[in-house]
Each structure stands twice: as structure tokens, then as C-alpha cells.
Amino acid sequence: MELYSTQILETVAVLLASAVARRIIVAAIKAAQRKYSYGNPRTTVIVKILDFLLFFIIVGGFLSIWGVERSELIFFLSSMLTILGIAFFAQWSILSNITSTTIIFFAHPAGIGDKVKILDVEFAVEGTIIDIGLFFIILQGEDGSVLSIPNNLFMQKAVVREDRSRPSSKTKEA
């Protein structure tokens, strides 16, 4: 047990430091939300991205603490990146979806909780936005059905925001 006591303490320190860092960053995000009148759904997406990044930082810290050899780690990462590269090539629109997510988050007037109608020549889709993920926007229809739409398609189609009872998260309330 003595052999691993230093690594255990360092692991606990990484966990505590990441928890404190997350609290501080989330508090800063909430302060910006109040200052710029952003809606809760927009900050929820930022917190999801923060959690995603913190996860990888924590895993990196654990790998360093527990002495994973760099050559083994580099071999593993290069293998994973090769697999991801093949996946991206097979599904090139993934990058388009990630880019669209960024644009939707910062520039699109529709947000979580808004009722929208996506106009298409052949088929119009209506529903309330219940989540904006990294790749998909999730809509819930009037009948309770759930529909996921790739973010790049959401950007390419005309979108009518029907819920005018609340201001856009991009406009400031007077």
C-alpha cells in the first residue's frame, strides 16, 4: 500500500483540483450569462463542453500520475486517431456538424425551449428544441415524438422560430 500512497494522493489532488476548477469556471459562465442576458440553455451547452474537456484533462493527469509510458500512450493515441481519421473520412459531415454546432450556439436566434418549424420543399418539421448536442438538435413534436436533426441540416434549411413569448437568447431584455 505504501508503494502507491503517493499516486493515490496525487490522484485525489487531481480530482479535487478539477472539481474546484469546474466550480470556478461554471461560476464565471453563470456571471457572463447574467451580464449578457444569455438563456440557461446556452450556458448548459457550454458546461457540457467544459465537462468534456475536463474529462480529458483528468484522464491525462491520471495517466501521468500512474506512470503510463509515453511510448505506449503515443502508440495508443496514434491508433485511436487513425481509427477516428477513417471514421471522419467515412462520415465527413461530422466536421460540418461540429462547425454548425458552434454557429448555432453563438449566432442562431433559436435555442433550447423554442418551438421551431424547419421548412423543407418536401417535408416540414415542427417541434420544440429540447437539446442541442455536438452533432444533433433534438426536437420534441406536439405528439411527444422525439426527432433528431443533424446540426448541418438545421443550418441549411429555413427555420421559423414560432415561440415569440420569450425574447431570443441573443437579444437583451430591456
In this structure, the answer to whether residues 113 and 66 fall within a common structural domain is no
Please report which helix (H) or strand (E) contains residue 128, including its range.
strand 125-132
Amino acid making up residue 43:
T
Say if 113 falls within a structural domain: yes
Query: Quick one: 151 exposed, middle or buried, by C-beta within 10 A (0-12, 13-18, 19+)?
Result: buried
Say if 95 falls within a structural domain: no
In this structure, the answer to whether residues 82 and 25 fall within a common structural domain is yes
In this structure, the answer to whether residues 82 and 113 fall within a common structural domain is no
In this structure, the answer to whether residues 125 and 62 fall within a common structural domain is no
In this structure, the answer to whether residues 28 and 78 fall within a common structural domain is yes
CATH of the domain at 153: 2.30.30.520
What does R_g of the chain's alpha carbons equal in angstroms?
A: 21
What pLDDT does 127 receive? 94
Where in the sequence is the domain holding 141, given as residue range(s)?
108-161
Averaged pLDDT in 10-residue chunks for the chain of 174 residues: 85 96 94 85 86 90 86 85 74 73 82 90 89 91 93 88 60 44
In this structure, the answer to whether residues 82 and 125 fall within a common structural domain is no
In this structure, the answer to whether residues 15 and 58 fall within a common structural domain is yes
What pLDDT does 174 receive? 40
What pLDDT does 101 receive? 83
Say if 75 falls within a structural domain: yes
What pLDDT does 91 receive? 59
What pLDDT does 55 receive? 93
**Cα 136 to Cα 98: distance, rounded to the nearest angstrom:** 9
End position of a domain, from candidates 36, 61, 90: 90
In this structure, the answer to whether residues 7 and 86 fall within a common structural domain is yes
What pLDDT does 163 receive? 55
- Contact between 134 and 98 under an 8 Å Cβ cutoff? The reply is yes
Neighbours of 108 (CB within 10 A): 20
Q: How many domains does the chain have?
A: 2
In this structure, the answer to whether residues 6 and 77 fall within a common structural domain is yes
For residue 3, what is the DSSP state? Answer: G
Say if 32 falls within a structural domain: yes
What pLDDT does 54 receive? 93
